[in-house]
Amino acid sequence: MKHHCNRDLFVSELNDLLNNPEIQRMAGYEQHQGNTTLQHVLNVAMVSFRIADRLGLDIDERALAKGAVLHDFYLYNIPETGLSDYRHGVSHPELAVRNAKKVMSLNKKEENIIRSHMWPLTLFHPPQSKEAVVVMMADKYCAVREMVFRKKTV
Ligand SMILES: [Fe+2]
Ligand SMILES: [Fe+2]
């Protein structure tokens, strides 16, 4: 059977993103009980790849890496904003898209991966690709691990 997911390509896309100083700014923000946002998005990227690989999906490695790394590119500490969890939950995907577009170009698929990751909370922005479904699932899985089980890495 053909093996669809190219790990080397995914890891090299991931490294390009993580070497970007703008993306490194996520290391300065906390989420999920003491984890940095950068560590969280890296966890989501690795889990996303693992899910896609396990399911034998023919994925777009570049879009998956960009969508996973940029999905929480909102650049603030939630408690300092005074936003309720609900307000943060519904508003940060759009902000992440806006911030990401200041740093690099996004195609429609990449934008939708970021925009839809909180679905079904953001009811009118459902995932529209297998990459978006995978990132949405990986984010929920990682959030539970990081919050409930205090696991910082995957
Ligand atoms: Fe998020
Ligand atoms: Fe997230």
Domain boundaries, the chain: 7-148
Helix axes 130-148, 108-115, angle to 10 degrees: 30
How many angstroms does the Cα of residue 1 sit away from the middle of ligand 2?
A: 33
Helix, strand, coil percentages for the chain (3-state, nearest 5): 65, 5, 35
What are the Cα distances from residue 70, in Å, to 56, 108, 122, 146?
Answer: 24, 14, 17, 18
Separation of 84 CA from ligand 2 center, angstroms?
Answer: 16
- 37: CA distance to ligand 1 center in Å? 9
Compute the distance between CA of residue 145 and CA of residue 132 in angstroms, rounded to an integer.
20
Looking at the domain covering 7-148, what would its CATH class be?
A: mainly alpha
Q: What's the confidence (pLDDT) of residue 33? A: 75
Average pLDDT estimate for 59-77: 97
Give the Å distance between the CA of 51 and the centre of ligand 2. 16
**Ligand 1: distance of its center to the CA of 115 in Å?**
9
pTM of the model: 0.94
Average predicted confidence (pLDDT) for the chain: 94
Res 31: pLDDT: 87
Task: Give me the residues near ligand 2 (ion), CB cutoff below 5 Å.
Answer: 72, 139
pLDDT reported for residue 134: 98
